[in-house]
Structure 1
Amino acid sequence: MNVITTEQLLQKLDAGEEISIIDVRESEEVANGMIPGAKHIALGQIESSMEQLDKSVPHYIVCKAGGRSAMACEILEENGYDVTNIAGGMMDWNGEVQF
């Protein structure tokens, strides 16, 4: 499984890279802030919602600390998606958040 730190992701965003970020936390967690531009798909909805994701682009998966995003990465990888787990999740995120 590919892994990236929150600092590495922030550097990519600061450099202006177009990045697909999927936040797999629950709605009440997302209400406390998400990485700007992230798409919310709760972990329990990943399998039924994956057709919304473009298989031709890499996706970066985030949760609170990295565990649920790792599970989402496994599911998506098994279905042919290029995914990277964001280690440390939102607990380590030092960039902007949107509400």
Structure 2
Amino acid sequence: MQTIKTDIVLDARGLACPMPIVRTKKTMKTLESGQVVEVQATDKGSTADLRAWANSTGNQYLGTIEEGDVLRHYVRKSSGDEQEAPAFKSVVTNETVETVRNNPDTLILDVRETAEYAFSHIPNAVNIPLGELETRIGELDTAKTIYVVCRTGSRSDLACQQLDAKGFNVQNVIPGMSDWKYDTHQTV
């Protein structure tokens, strides 16, 4: 099982509806865009409640892991600019990635946070969060075409610009995981 990196852990164990949502809402106000909160709850209804709340507020519900009586919910604070048009020149569709993903000359690079990747990712994709890309760039093969994916294409756009400047052959995948209709894996 993959370790899920979070920015803050919120203890809502023993609290009944609506308190896990109330506490999550308050905590989200303290986070920056892209940060992930782990909400620990024991209320069985909190899964549906948090999912609905996240979707209605524009945040991203990533998933839940059940460990005994404790539900560990993961929510990512989204930014308001995630739907901006990409600036990187080489853009491909999800369909293109699906057709080339098993080609040995290609690499699918997922630049989402580890929590996002853990709950759903393209099979065989390599996860290097955008914030770690500069320090982990040596892990990438310059001989391969790299298809960079994130949730909507914004973070992958930034990653493509970084990698292109270093001489990598990169393609930005649009729309990314928000509309991925093919097989996925999870590591939780």
Normalised TM-score (structure 1): 0.92
SS in 2 for 1:96: coil
Report the counterpart of residue 130 of structure 2 in structure 1. Answer: 43
Higher-helix-fraction structure: 1
SS in 1 for 2:119: coil
Using the TM superposition, give the Cα deviation of residue 11 of structure 1 relative to its aligned residue in structure 2, in angstroms: 2.3
Q: Give the % identical residues.
A: 36
Question: Larger Cα Rg: Structure 1 or Structure 2?
Answer: 2
Using the TM superposition, give the Cα deviation of residue 35 of structure 1 relative to its aligned residue in structure 2, in angstroms: 0.2
SS in 2 for 1:31: helix
Report the counterpart of residue 84 of structure 1 in structure 2. Answer: 171
User: How well do the aligned residues superpose, as a CA RMSD in angstroms?
Assistant: 1.1
Structure 1 residue 94 corresponds to structure 2 residue 181: yes
Report the counterpart of residue 103 of structure 2 in structure 1. Answer: 17
Using the TM superposition, give the Cα deviation of residue 32 of structure 1 relative to its aligned residue in structure 2, in angstroms: 1.5
Q: Which has the higher contact order (CA 8 A, sep 6+)?
A: 1
Distance 1:51 1:9 in 2: 23
The aligned length equals 97
Please, which runs of 5 or more residues in structure 1 have no aligned partner? none
SS in 2 for 1:56: coil
Structure 1 residue 54 corresponds to structure 2 residue 138: no
Matching residue's letter, 2:175: G
Residues 47-85 of structure 1 show CA distances to partners (whole Å, capped at 9, x for unaligned) of 111111111111000000100000000000011111000
Please, which runs of 5 or more residues in structure 2 have no aligned partner? 1-88
Residues 8-34 of structure 1 show CA distances to partners (whole Å, capped at 9, x for unaligned) of 211224xx4233000000011112111
Matching residue's letter, 1:6: N
Report the counterpart of residue 2 of structure 1 in structure 2. Answer: 90
